[in-house]
Amino acid sequence: MGLNLAGFEGSGSFSKGVHPPDHKEFSKDAPIEVLPAPSRVVVPLLQNIGAPSECVVKAKQEISMGDVIAKPTGFVSVPIHSPINGKVQKSTNVTLPNGRHVPAIPIKAEGDQLEGQALMEDVLGGEWPKDVAGSYDPKEISAAIQNAGIVGLGGATFPTHVKIMPNDERPVDALIINGCECEPFLTPDYRVMVEAADAVICGALLAAHAVGAKNIVVGIEANKPKAVQTMKQAAEGTGVKIAVLKTKYPQGSEKHLIVAVTGRKVPPGKLPLDVGVVVSNVGTMAAVARAVLRGKPLTHRVVCVTGGGIATPKNLLVPIGITYGELIDYCGGLKPDAARIISGGPMMGFSFTDLEMPLTKGASGVTVLTNEDVKKAAETACVRCGRCVDVCPLNLVPSRLAIASRNKKFDVAERYHIFTCVECGCCAYTCPASLPLVQLIRMGKAAITASRKK
Ligand code: SF4
Ligand code: SF4
């Protein structure tokens, strides 16, 4: 599959990877609904890669939707805003699905709330002009993104202002918008492209102006023809190109997307900026458009509640800080054969059991797998088949990394580049011995990181 994008040498794909069933059928045709305003939210103070945010409100303080409740504590940090009108309650601690324990601010809803169609219009609806980017100073765009507390909504949670800013030392020639959503089951990005394509293109034009990129390419996998069509329509006359990429996991991983679109390889330890590229996700671009044009912070996001274990799978516009349990209840609850609840999708997500856990900015939804989905053979010893090596898109030796981590041979794990692993799950997906390769690699990384801090 060639791309035929002028100036780029991408082939529309990357080497290795896997082809898991996409299972988008559960929620892909469900239009985004607005979750009714909750009676309470609990907003975690660490929702980004980088430094946590610091609480700036007190218990019993009355606040409105959009008010700052926590300030950034460094450049790679973001402010956090209240998603509802209400009263601050005594601060608490929460555990997130990834196992991190973080402080959080509970807010009890009080007074009228922005909800229903009015909230949808405010976040994704209305006019998104495509001829205004040039009227903004690039620094003004960056500042609006920073003030709005935007992080990568595809799950990376890297503060967006750090990427979307003028950079004289490392010029950017291409802004790639990630519309791949290659993780099985997940559909929020797909629905945003289908229902709010104008907001995505508007945000992309603003972001490209801020970084000085002459080329804007939206990468979408070939299994999303409707999104390709809506995005092409929205991009008409703007110069934004739509690249239809091969459906293969992990096509949406930043480095693989860059190879697929431009043919450029980001060397280990380097950033996309080092090859003149910035990558951001489609939902993030819609949030950028809203922040710059309407001055509104990131208080809500689109998520999906999906999988065979959910009564009525849906795509929902929800406030940050809502609990996973409330999302599941709104979708009719769990089916009797529900077996595993995952924040995100089955390849890169985190299994959890506590439904009181709050949703963060980077969470794209919840997938509930059935007994049938999770049925697999018991773990055996590695049979040295080499399949994990054959599929690893980072050319690592996953078996060696996992075994070194299990045996606490962290020097070996580092020698075999454990930190290059992006935890995509291709190796575990393909392993005939059912070894928990990703969990072991994650454990190894955590142990090495902890020992460095001592
Ligand atoms: S070792 Fe890491 S990067 Fe390679 S396949 Fe496994 S999870 Fe993916
Ligand atoms: S795929 Fe599994 S069994 Fe095969 S070499 Fe890798 S870890 Fe061993």
Domains and CATH numbers, the chain: 24-30+118-294 (3.40.50.11540), 387-453 (no CATH)
Q: How far is the CA of 250 from the centre of ligand 2 (A)?
A: 19
- Closest residue (by CA) to atom 8 of ligand 1? 424
Q: Is the CB of 404 under 6 A from ligand 1?
A: no
CA–CA distances in Å: residue 64 to residues 53, 111, 113, 442 = 19, 10, 9, 39
Whether the CB-CB separation of 227 and 182 falls below 8 Å is answered with no
Residue to mutate, 395, 441, 442, 443, ligand 1, most ligand atoms under 8 Å from C-beta: 441
Over the chain (454 residues), what is each successive 10-residue block's mean pLDDT?
A: 75 90 97 97 95 96 98 95 98 94 97 96 96 97 98 92 90 96 97 98 98 96 97 97 96 94 91 95 98 98 98 98 98 97 95 96 97 86 95 96 96 95 95 95 94 80
- Give the atom of ligand 1 at the shortest distance from the alpha carbon of 420: 3
Give the Cα separation of 302 and 142 in Å (integer): 23
- Residue 8 confidence (pLDDT): 85
Q: Is the CB of 427 under 6 A from ligand 1?
A: yes
- The upper half-sphere exposure of residue 101, i.e. CA atoms within 13 Å in the direction of its Cβ, equals 2
- Closest residue (by CA) to atom 6 of ligand 2? 388
- Residue 1 confidence (pLDDT): 52
- Residue 12 confidence (pLDDT): 86
- Residue 11 confidence (pLDDT): 86
Residue to mutate, 16, 431, 438, 440, ligand 2, most ligand atoms under 8 Å from C-beta: 431
- Residue 168 confidence (pLDDT): 84
Q: What is the pTM of this model?
A: 0.95
- Closest residue (by CA) to atom 6 of ligand 1? 427
Q: Which two tokens stand for residue 289?
A: 């458009």
Whether the CB-CB separation of 313 and 327 falls below 8 Å is answered with no
CA angle at 24 for the pair 386 and 121, rounded to the nearest 5°: 135
- Residue 2 confidence (pLDDT): 62
Q: How far is the CA of 392 from the centre of ligand 1 (A)?
A: 5
Residue to mutate, 16, 387, 397, 421, ligand 1, most ligand atoms under 8 Å from C-beta: 421
CA angle at 314 for the pair 195 and 325, rounded to the nearest 5°: 130
Q: Is the CB of 440 under 6 A from ligand 1?
A: no
